[in-house]
Homo-oligomer: A and B are copies of this chain.
Amino acid sequence: MTRRCDRRCDACHGGSPSIDSTMPTVVDLLRNVPFLAGLDPRTLDLLASRCVPRAVGEGFTLFRAGDKCTGLYLVIEGKVRIYRTSTDGREQTLAVEGAGRPVAELPLVDGGSYPASASTLEPSRLAFLPRGDFEHAFRSDPDVATAVLTALGTRLRHFVQLVETLAFRDVAARLAMLLADYADRDGRPGDGVVRLELQRTQEELASEIGTARESVSRALKQLRVQGLVIDQEGAQLVLQPAARLRAWARGEG
């Protein structure tokens, strides 16, 4: 099934990397990518001139596990989910990358293929940097190299967390951890609690913590009984502070 660009998609039909001056330039976009922060302006310009901006809708698949790697994606806006699929169709998401984060930096440094699949959770704007251009920048500019290095580092730490969670915690605890993460990122704190508008279906939550939809439903009830989820009306959640959620998930509750 082919997805369409959503509105505001001028950029993705511009056949050349030339920039429409009424839009924010690609350089402007890259400037807001922490991954590249600290690069000197000239290299930034250079990179920007090589980047292909793309706007894609929700559910657009960037690549699949095993595909040969063609370049680096940077998330300008939106969310990209990175996941593995099992032979029987279940999915485990490995990471969700938001604005300013790189996707697929791993295969670029070791020359292998993509280790996982990636698709958008929301309509998103991305910058695509073809492999050759990336490698040139990577080799010639030590700042780019260290940027990649720290990106790999945080990814690795994230994975250690993920492994521990899958290995040790039950579904309810995993859900608590996940909600804590969301609360930190999207929640509005106030008065000893956090309000969070959850933009995920239970099906998606289930994939993120490696379980079934029904188990998420039951785990949510369990969290309500525990008082960790104070109130829930549809997607509107009132939560205990993230720290408390995490403490409970670690068994200190």
Contacts and interface: CB of A to CB of B under 8 A. Distances in A.
Given A92-B168, A145-B145, A159 B157 contact: no
A235 interface: no
Contacts of A152: 109, 149, 152-153, 156
A88 interface: yes
A194 to B, nearest CB: 24
A149 B150 contact: no
A109 B146 CA distance: 9
Interface in A150-182: 150, 152-157, 159-160, 162-164, 166-168
Given A109-B153, A150-B109, A163 B159 contact: yes
A76 interface: no
Interface stretch (A24-32, A52-60, A110-118): A110-118
Interface residues of A, number: 37
Contact of A149 (B92, B94, B109, B162): B109
A233 interface: no
Interface in A32-71: none
A106 interface: yes
Nearest to A65: B160
Contacts of A110: 150, 153-154, 157
A191 B87 CA distance: 30
B160 A115 contact: yes
B166 A86 contact: no
A100 interface: no
Contacts of A244: none
Given A166-B167, A210-B167, A156 B154 contact: no
B87 A250 contact: yes
A144 to B, nearest CB: 11
A148 interface: yes
Interface string A110-136: 101001100000000000000000000
Interface of A: 84, 86-88, 90, 92, 94, 106, 109-110, 112, 115-116, 142, 145-146, 148-150, 152-157, 159-160, 162-164, 166-168, 210, 250-252
Given A87-B252, A115-B160, 4 more contacts: A88-B251, A106-B156, A152-B153, A159-B159
